[in-house]
Amino acid sequence: MGAIFSMIEDTLQRNPRLKKAKARSTKLLSTAWWLGGNITWTVMTGVIVLGVPVFFEYERECQLFEQMAQAQNAQMNAAAPPA
């Protein structure tokens, strides 16, 4: 296995076009990794800043509706006052 890598490395060193292609692909991968990291950071920060407060407000509103439904059920199930 080591001989294969040696042969590939030797071929890359001899051919200047392959050497240039290797340098370009390395630069492309490093730039893509950097860009992907920045995009991930931006998206996650946006979710935290914009999405989490909406989620908490939704949960609070759901609790409010549950309390209103319980109060209404208690009122409906209460005994009617004697007439």
- What's the pLDDT tens digit per position in 4-37? 888 888 887 888 888 888 899 999 999 999 999 9
Counting every residue written for the chain, the total comes to 83
Rg of the Cα atoms in the chain:
32
How many Å separate Cα 75 from the centre of its chain?
A: 45
- Over residues 34-42, the mean pLDDT reads 97
- Over residues 61-75, the mean pLDDT reads 94
Residue 83: pLDDT band by 50, 70, 90 thresholds?
Answer: low
Confidence check: pLDDT of 80 > 80: no
